[in-house]
Chains A and B, each alone.
Chain A
Amino acid sequence: MSLNNKPMALQSLQGRWTDFAPMILVTMIALFAWPLIGSMSTWATLTVAGLAMGMMLFIMASGLTLVFGLMDVLNLGHAAFVAVGAYVAASLAGVLSVLLKSSTGVEAVAGMALVALGAMITTALLGLLFERFFIRPVYGNHLKQILITIGAMIIIEQLVLALWGAQQMMLPLPEAVRGTLVIGEVAVERYRLVAVVLGLLLYLGLLMVFNFTRIGMLIRAGVENRDMVEAMGYRIQRVFVAVFAAGAALAGLGGAMWGFYREQFTAAIGADLLVQMLIIVVIGGLGSVRGCFFGALLLALIQNYVNFLIPDFAMVSNISVMVAVLLWRPSGLYAPGR
């Protein structure tokens, strides 16, 4: 536990509910970008786009960080769940096209919810299988975990290609959710707002589960000290399987949302995001949902601003964010389990 060897004062501050520094940082960066960009409407568009992308990245990466924090398992195959989620969503969208093409907003949104639900159920089941065959045999061995999960990612990606074919997949956004909302002089894409709201709800929901339920308490305790929880008589293994499946489901949901956002994609949709998800997990603090949330927002916002201001620098913005955050807080924004 070399990560916990820092002075008590800092540790307790970082663990406390009142540690709002990451939230303030994200806000400051958004405000600081305003004068740099100049135009109010451009800034608002960029910010909402960044928030939407950050929320989707948070949804995808939250499972990864919990699995790592709880069981010390680095699942590089997590990206495969994103791809499967997007592909299942595309197939379901074909089946439910009547609902999705409906002109009434309620029906279209219900159709999208069904599509997302289908993607989540599929990836949750896939997650159960994945845990049994690829994770369980290699507990406690980082090297084997990396090799096996990379192999698993290849297998799943190839299976996706075999089942759906190598051509581009289409997942058109329903007409009812398409288009922009104009508030004053600011134009905001509707779907981005949907993504932001959904991401916020999920974040709050996860926080509630973690802080006010028994299973949430067990998960937090497990992240902090697995052996102790086992010594108290709980089967942390079962909790872990549940968390793994839930994390896979969230990745599937993120994949479906990302698919709707992109509207067309290939089997590399998940693998393309793997590096960003890993950076978010690292800068958020391993096993911290709050850290994952603010890490995702930070990364996505900065990426969007930099892309607009200095496009040539966009490639290295992710790495710079990671280095800067780790210099500030070497074990990530929040302590594990918070």
Chain B
Amino acid sequence: MKFLATHIFSDDLPRSRILTALLVLVLGYLFTAPFLFPGARSLNVAATIGVYLVLVGSFDLLLGYCGIVSFAHAMFYGIGAYGVAISLGKFGPSWSSLFIGAGAAMVLSTVLSILMALISLRVKAIFYTMTTMAVASAFSALVMRLNTVTGGDDGRNFSVPESLTPGFELFENEFFGTLINGKLITYYMVLFSAILLFLLMLRIVNSRFGRVLEAIRENEFRAEAIGYRTLYYKLAINTVSALIATAAGVLMALWLRYVGPQTTVGFNVMLNILLMAVIGGLGTVYGAVLGVVVFTVAENYLQLLLQKIGPLTTGVPVLEHLLQPDRWLLWFGLVFVLAVYFFPTGIVGNLREKARLRLNGEPSRPHQTV
């Protein structure tokens, strides 16, 4: 058990029984989803959750651990997805073209993230926010514009290596009533990559390097005074976070076999990442898991709920429009704002605080995450 805690989870266990239970539940769901919920749509939800764990987690490395607000995270995600899509489309569906595309995307992400950081990160954190917003919007406009390469607004479909296609069957017999085909292999490949990347992120934040990042978040001036070159640390985490986001994009493209601007570089994707990270709990990495799941559940079930309540208010002038299923984002936005006011540490932060209270009987010092 100790080995597991130290070497797999980097000595950063959930530290709350409820949180552990929830995490086990999510992990169990992700592993059994193809057998328990075999429909194409529910499998898609599971794969999306898996990829977003990584994406939101890598955003948390920046925002939660270093206090840097970047609006370019969706751009790096999009670079990964488009890199694979363009390469597979151009050089044919083989493993080597997959790696060429992923490699090129990684290089581009590295260069872009370093450039943006050098221009603005050294001045003031808020400049960085604005710069990333400007660069990301220019990039998404560019993606729309370069019709011939990216497919413009419609995006583009592409074929993946043969062993990942639905037509490929590993065994002739069915397992638990499910055929082991290429789609399933892709699902588990995505899932295992996501888990590996997640554990890698746990490792990063619990290293000496991660501690310095937290020091920068709490008081950059003091960290600099102790003798850390804060710019280098910020530059490094910026690049690492961008690379992990790019990897998430590669996984998503492999799963969907399609890329389009709305699902990758759009501003709505960026907003979703931000909402998920904050709701789950910044500066915890585990928060990404709960944030993604809560958001996905809210997206699906809040609409269902509104569909149920909505008709009850038909005829009430304003309320009937506010309770339309399409307006679920309104209610989620309200919850988000209230959450930032009253639960700035997110779900994970609150669960951990509860567990600490139960064990020690005294509250910890105020935690300055947000």
Chain A residues proximal to chain B, CB less than 8 Å: 2-3, 74, 134, 137, 141-144, 146-148, 150-152, 154-155, 158-159, 161-163, 165-166, 271, 274-275, 278-279, 281-282, 312, 315-316, 318-319, 322-323, 326, 330
Contact = CB atoms under 8 A, between A and B. Distances in A.
Interface string B94-129: 000000000000000000000000010001111101
Given A271-B267, A319-B135, A151 B327 contact: no
Nearest to A327: B119
A143 B69 contact: yes
Report whether over half of chain A's contact residues are helix, strand or loop; otherwise say mixed: helix
Contacts, number: 95
A137 B341 contact: yes
Contacts of B340: 144, 147-148, 151
Measured as residues with beta carbon below 8 angstroms from the partner, the interface class of chain B is 35 or more
Interface in B237-266: none
B337 A148 contact: yes
B327 A162 contact: yes
A279 B327 contact: no
B142 A150 contact: no
B142 A315 contact: yes
17 contacts: A2-B124, A144-B340, A147-B340, A148-B340, A151-B333, A151-B336, A151-B340, A154-B271, A161-B327, A162-B324, A163-B321, A275-B133, A282-B130, A315-B145, A319-B134, A322-B131, A323-B119
A74 B134 CA distance: 15
Contacts of B8: none
Given A147-B278, A151-B340, A162 B321 contact: yes
Interface of B: 63, 67, 69, 119, 123-127, 129-131, 133-135, 137-138, 141-142, 145, 267, 271, 274, 278, 318, 321-322, 324, 326-327, 329-330, 332-334, 336-337, 340-341, 344, 370
A152 B321 contact: no
A318 B134 contact: yes
A147 B274 contact: yes
Contact of A143 (B67, B124, B145, B318): B67
Contact of A275 (B126, B134, B142, B333): B134
B318 A152 contact: no
Nearest to B341: A137
B133 A155 contact: no
Contacts of A151: 333, 336-337, 340
